[in-house]
Structure 1
Amino acid sequence: MIMTTRPATPYALIVGWDGVRHDLLPELELPTLSAVAEQGFLIGTTMPEESEAKTSTAPGWSTNLTGVWPAKHGITDNEPMPNHFDRYPHLLQRLLTDQPDRQTLACVCAAMLGSTKGPGPILAGGVSTLIFHDVRTHPLGPIGRDPLVAEDARHQLRHRDYALSFVYFASTDKTAHLEGVGPRYRDAIRQEDSWTGALIDAVRRRPTFSDEDWLVVITTDHGHRDEGGHGGNSWQERQSFLAMARLDADLGFTPPAAVSNVDLAPTVLRHLGVTVEADWDLDGVALQQPSTTVDAGFAEPRLRPGC
């Protein structure tokens, strides 16, 4: 009798570290990010120029989650404005449209992600379970809310079945606004790395983990000036990065020498078995295609056309 092995079910976890500068990461001891980079890759990326969009939360996460630049999704600032999410929905919604029998999770604290503040909610629709710890209801803002996000997300990943999860931490951004990118900011990055490690550990403890194929992504929406603050056109503010790996497995592809934030959505969707259609008009591409090689680690970012 011929025995066949059932392919592992694909899952994906995206972890957002708000306002984290890529150029500072090599200076820090970040065991979780380093493990992801070693298993897969960590590559610096560049956000659009200020003439296209502010280097701010709403434009950055709209770009990361939709796979298109601000000229298409329409979010260029944190202020109220119309969007084009009906034409360019975020990847959680794309997944549920394609695979309505699966579930998605978003565990966040930023008001623009989970409420109508500014141009939000950016995560409108397509989220089976939205856990929203509103930063506006805690005196410490995201610094007080992030531990709750971490604990809730850890529990959900361990005990529930979500094909695609997005977990967002904001205390790095808040710390930089208060104190610049000095010691406390670096400690905040280390803390978010630790929380991310706990999320990955929760995934590995799932009773069905041996039958699952998990892609993990860590990214950010913008950087910060040395003194703190963002929204402008400096290279410190326009920094971002993509880190990506499959848990306990080879990544299965070698990323090109140049990647962009808009590549995140199509790459995750392809891992989850979603066919990225040409008429979606995405600016990004799935990275699981033949490409030139790049050493994993702290590579040079790709500049967008015109940058």
Structure 2
Amino acid sequence: MMNRILPCLVALAPAVWADPGPGDANDFHGKRVLIIGIDGLRSDALKAAKAPVIQGLAKAGSVTWTAVAGGAEEGPTHQPTISGPGWTSILTGTCIDKHGVSGNSMKPGIYQVEKAPHFARRLKETVPTACVASFTSWNWIEDYLIAAQPDAVDHHEKGIGKAYPERDADVKAKALDYLAKANPDVIFVHFDQVDGAGHSTGFSTENPKYMTAITTVDGLVGEIMASVKKRPQYAKESWMVILTTDHGGKGTSHGGQSPEERTIPMIVAGRSVPKLGVSKETPGQFVVPATTFQYLGVPVKAEWGWEPGTFGLQKPVIVSSAKGQPKS
């Protein structure tokens, strides 16, 4: 675990603990982003599950049930619907042609960190005092992706436990503790037990164990949301939530290009986010960083090589050219 959160933490004085957080005095005028990643979450299963918290987010903002994992079906961005490339795309804004990740190997040199760094590094290039935190149940994200650039993310921890639910509960507890003490501009929280249930018993709406795992994670998401709303400065903060996944699943596996594996949900919601309802858009999972930056008002630079697009926000993202001139 890397802990570099002095810019993010409130002071330790008792008076400050009673009123933590700068409210709207952060670098983004109170705007903050919570990114929730739920591993192996099929769109049809989320719609059918008992998941009132997540479904409530979908109703309150924008949702597409037809977002895409796996890049383009043909061409240089085509990649397996596997967790390694999926989460790397979500956290870097790029696909396999830039990040290089085709599976879950942790062999040094596969992940092209200089071509496709974590979005936190790009955020800090523009706003050096920005604070980003990460809590992940799937250890690969912490031990490989973040380990390749440990200074990019201010505070990052992985879940501890032998079983998927144990690690998810640990991630939830660590995220709750952090939200009570610190002031992240962006926080990523990842849960893994839905994928675990899919692998062990099947990715299907007809599988009670898979559906129960979704309900369980919905409860964890509810606790995270409640923690955000309990922040003493919440009234002055403006949180946006992005929720998505790395892939779907078929049978007890994934990695291919079937609709069951490629079709994923994406939700964007928040008090300052347009309530656009159900969208027929098909954004790639890689739009998460650009959507985050658009909300925070941070230009995306063309030389970063991010895949185009955002989701859930009406204005198009502004991309800076290599010479620094903005273009629409």
Give the alignment's TM-score, normalised by structure 2: 0.78
* Residues 1-307 of structure 1 mapped to structure 2, 5 A cutoff: 8-43=29-64, 44-48=66-70, 49=73, 52-79=78-105, 80=107, 82-116=110-144, 121=147, 124-134=150-160, 138-140=161-163, 142-181=164-203, 182-225=207-250, 227-246=251-270, 248-251=271-274, 257-287=281-311, 288-290=313-315
User: Cα deviations across residues 186-240 of structure 1 (Å, max 9, x unaligned)?
Assistant: 1111111111111111111111111111110111000111x31111222212222
By how many angstroms is 1:268 displaced?
Answer: 0.3
Unaligned runs of 5+ in 2: 1-23, 317-328
By how many angstroms is 1:133 displaced?
Answer: 2.2
103-112 vs 160-169, which moves further: 103-112
CA contact (8 A) 1:269 1:276 kept: yes
CA distance in 2: counterparts of 1:159 and 1:272, whole angstroms: 22
- The two structures, once aligned, show a CA RMSD in angstroms of 2.5
CA distance in 2: counterparts of 1:120 and 1:265, whole angstroms: 15
By how many angstroms is 1:244 displaced?
Answer: 0.6
Identity among equivalent positions (%) equals 26
Report how many residues are paired: 279
Secondary structure of residue in 2 paired with 1:25: helix
CA distance in 1: counterparts of 2:275 and 2:253, whole angstroms: 38
User: Cα deviations across residues 143-196 of structure 1 (Å, max 9, x unaligned)?
Assistant: 221101011112212321111100000011111111113111111111111111
Secondary structure of residue in 2 paired with 1:274: coil
Secondary structure of residue in 1 paired with 2:210: helix
User: Cα deviations across residues 230-254 of structure 1 (Å, max 9, x unaligned)?
Assistant: 11222212222211111x3443778
Distance 1:252 1:243, change over 3 A: closer
By how many angstroms is 1:274 displaced?
Answer: 1.4
User: Cα deviations across residues 76-118 of structure 1 (Å, max 9, x unaligned)?
Assistant: 11123522221222222222222221211101121211114xx
CA distance in 2: counterparts of 1:167 and 1:122, whole angstroms: 19
CA distance in 2: counterparts of 1:125 and 1:74, whole angstroms: 21
CA distance in 2: counterparts of 1:180 and 1:123, whole angstroms: 35
By how many angstroms is 1:27 displaced?
Answer: 1.2
CA distance in 2: counterparts of 1:10 and 1:235, whole angstroms: 35
Distance 1:203 1:72, change over 3 A: same
CA distance in 1: counterparts of 2:201 and 2:41, whole angstroms: 14
Q: Which amino acid aligns with 1:258?
A: T
CA contact (8 A) 1:53 1:77 kept: no
CA distance in 1: counterparts of 2:131 and 2:241, whole angstroms: 17
Q: Which amino acid aligns with 1:89?
A: P
**Alignment match, 1:299:** none
267-276 vs 87-96, which moves further: 87-96
**Alignment match, 2:18:** none
